[in-house]
Amino acid sequence: MNTSDPRAVSAPAPAPVPPARIAAMASGLAAVPGVRAVALGGSRARGAHRPDSDWDLGVYYRGAPDTAALAALASGFQGSPVEVAGPGGWGPWVDGGAWLRVDGVQVDWILRDLDRVEAVWADCREGRYEVGVQPGHPLGFWSPAYPGEVALGRVLADPHGELTPLREETLRYPEPLRTALVAAAWEADFSVAAARKSAPGGDALHVSLCLSRAFGILAQSLHAHHRVWCLNEKGATAAAAALPDAPARYAERVGEALRGLDPAAVELAAELVGEVRAACGG
């Protein structure tokens, strides 16, 4: 990777070598029919985990993975039966997977359709993205999370040599995607305008949804402006506040607006939208 390229994204710090059980699990998963590669994600991939943090394993497949074989493998590692949700079992974007308890620690298997990940990556390189309805993602699943997961993850097993080169590609944040996500901040303005109509009547639900949506969009725009992948809503406000050029006291002011949900809170949100748009260049 040419690190002088302004689109280049710094790779996450190398994570510690996973325990033997996790390494064996990744090897076993990669041998399941349909599975092409396994990657470590989440805080453990970034080296920001606590001793009790979950292990998140992305299980990349093509076609239809053998869910019976996955269930047998999971049950063997846990020592008791494990239910595996097949593609679509957990919703349209978080394909499926399993929750295991191994050696007293939570281990999550998350299925990822590699064909779809590659298609989304192709769209991102052209500045196209989707925001889909997905359980567990109250502000929607933003499709750039797929390549972002690859970029920020750590490949544990890649016997077919497919995920490793894709990860190298995703370390270059696409300039068209950056432009599109920065421009998406217009919707934050729109959402605040909608909240402004509901706040005087005390419609807390509508105001909270509008402001939450606005702040979720701002997090995406700020991350994109700095060519940083934003995977989901969790921790997004704090992460955005830590970025260069973020508005002063950004996280505190977001919290204040979401606690208030009154006309003053809406105007505070409007200020934040304006400051983020100015910081991102328009």
SS3 66: coil
Longest CA–CA span in the chain (Å) reads 59
Helix (H) / strand (E) element for 21: namely: helix 20-30
Q: Give the pLDDT score at 4.
A: 39
Distances 16 to 107, 113, 138 between C-alpha atoms, Å: 16, 27, 32
Helix (H) / strand (E) element for 37: namely: strand 35-41
Nearest to 251 by CA among 222, 208, 280, 210: 222
Q: What are the structure tokens assigned to 70, written together?
A: 């996955």
Residue with tokens 């890649």: 158
Calculate mean pLDDT across residues 17-43: 90
Residue type, 117: V
Domain ranges of the chain: 20-174, 184-279
Higher pLDDT, 131 or 8: 131
Q: What does the pLDDT look like over 87-106, one tens digit per residue?
A: 999 999 999 999 999 988 89
Indicate whether 204 pLDDT > 50: yes
The band of 2, judged by pLDDT with boundaries at 50, 70 and 90, is: very low
**Does 3.30.460.10 match the CATH number of domain 20-174?**
yes
Q: What are the structure tokens assigned to 114, written together?
A: 């590699």
Calculate mean pLDDT across residues 152-178: 97
Q: What are the structure tokens assigned to 233, written together?
A: 């809503």
The phi and psi torsions of 55 (rounded to 5 degrees) equal -100, 120
Instruction: Provide the pairing of β-strand 97-102 with 55-61.
Output: unpaired
Contact present, 280 and 185 (Cβ < 8 Å): yes
Q: What are the structure tokens assigned to 68, written together?
A: 């019976």
The band of 45, judged by pLDDT with boundaries at 50, 70 and 90, is: confident
Q: What are the structure tokens assigned to 280, written together?
A: 């991102």
Say what the pTM is: 0.91
Nearest to 109 by CA among 121, 100, 117: 100
Percent of the chain's residues with pLDDT above 70: 91
Residues 6+ positions from 34 with CB-CB distance below 8 Å: 61, 62, 63, 64, 65, 66
Residue type, 167: R
SS3 102: strand
Calculate mean pLDDT across residues 47-65: 83
Q: What does the pLDDT look like over 112-154, one tens digit per residue?
A: 999 999 999 999 999 999 999 999 999 999 999 999 999 999 9
